[in-house]
Amino acid sequence: MEFKIIFNNPDELLEKDASLSFGYFDICSKDLKVSLFFERSCIVFLTLSSIIYFLEQNLKTFIWVGEDNGKSFQVTKRSENIEIKDKQMSININHIAFEKAVRSAANQLLTESKGANPKIADESAFLDLYMSLFPTV
């Protein structure tokens, strides 16, 4: 499974407030291709932080809201699967594969965005995502 992060304007990652850039996510596998927050883009760093937080918690259900757009998906942990749904669609995917793909994409985003724009590491949305991946004790 692959979790892709697509920015509406990738050049914004080189500017001030880059961590507030808008985009959406694609979930891709052999049998599936779904875009989340495509119709109404979200602030990628913050929206990604919230799903990572949910995946790490002992919660069964979560309303995943696209930051700054209001679009939402209900995310439910069901034994080994995760269900993501809204009024138009519902998908069931392997929990471990999804979490691994999300974490990998988030880690790559942090690395690449900091390499392209070192000042991004001081921005709050970048730090939120970093802390969701690498929480301190």
The pLDDT tens digits of the residues spanning 100-134 come to 999 999 999 999 999 999 999 999 999 999 999 99
CB–CB of 92/83 below 8 Å? yes
Confidence band, pLDDT 50/70/90 cuts, at residue 69: confident
The pLDDT tens digits of the residues spanning 79-109 come to 899 999 999 999 999 999 999 999 999 999 9
Cα distances from 48 to residues 30, 32, 98, 106, in angstroms, run 23, 20, 13, 7
Q: How far apart are CA 37 and CA 39, in angstroms?
A: 6
Residue 17 pLDDT greater than 70, yes or no: yes
pTM for the whole structure: 0.93
Helix (H) or strand (E) holding 107: helix 95-116
Bin 68: left if φ > 0, else alpha if -120 < ψ < 50, else beta.
Answer: left
The mean of the pLDDT values for the chain is: 94
Bin 91: left if φ > 0, else alpha if -120 < ψ < 50, else beta.
Answer: beta
- pLDDT recorded at residue 113: 95
